[in-house]
Amino acid sequence: MKNSIKFNLLTFLFIASPLIAVEGVAVIDMRTAVLSTQAAADAFKALEEDADYSSNLEEAKSLQADRQAIAEKLQKELETLSQEEIAKMQKDINDKGKDLEFLAGKIQQSQEETAQAVFAQTGPAMQKIITELIQAKQIKVLLAKNETMLFSDPSLDLTDDVTSMLDVAAAGAPAQSD
């Protein structure tokens, strides 16, 4: 009987609660808000134009294409190849895979460093904007939007508001030199 009551209560909370208006509650995905700004787009465009980054990206694409070509050749000619040739091709595939993993790590690290720089640059403005939105929308509870959230009404999501306001704040700020 107790389990039945708990189940019914949970069912009500998860199914019926979206029908209940929640005053003073909002959600935000701060990562998406920041990485959707024009400043982030500009930073990632600059990263793509960086010689080291673009070289790593091109090398990774080349390695992936070589690896794929060897794998396809191995698959097509498997019955006619000697054991030595098969072993050599498999070793080449593995070696290229390891090189590809290394380059992917370097590429991901560069992307993460760029994202962190954008966060550092926009952090104070974002805090100010969030504080202003909390006051303006009379928010009493602000939740981080993540995978554990079972439901959120899109009208409660401040992510796009923060992104827009960050872009406006950046456009109004004088250009900073590096």
- Residue 94 pLDDT greater than 50, yes or no: yes
Mean per-residue pLDDT for 23-47? 91
- Picking from 110, 114, 134, 126, the residue whose alpha carbon sits closest to that of residue 167 is 126
> What are the distances in angstroms from CA 43 to CA 48, 65, 115?
9, 28, 8
Asked whether the beta carbons of 30 and 162 are under 8 A apart, the reply is yes
Q: Establish how many alpha carbons lie within 13 A of residue 101's alpha carbon, considering only the half-sphere containing its beta carbon.
A: 6
**Overall average pLDDT of the 58-73 stretch:** 95
pTM of structure: 0.67
Kindly report the three-state secondary structure assignment for every residue of 81-111. Answer: CCHHHHHHHHHHHHHHHHHHHHHHHHHHHHH
Backbone angles phi, psi at 55, to 5 degrees: -65, -45
How high is the pLDDT of residue 152?
Answer: 64
What is the enclosing helix (H) or strand (E) of 27?
Answer: strand 25-28
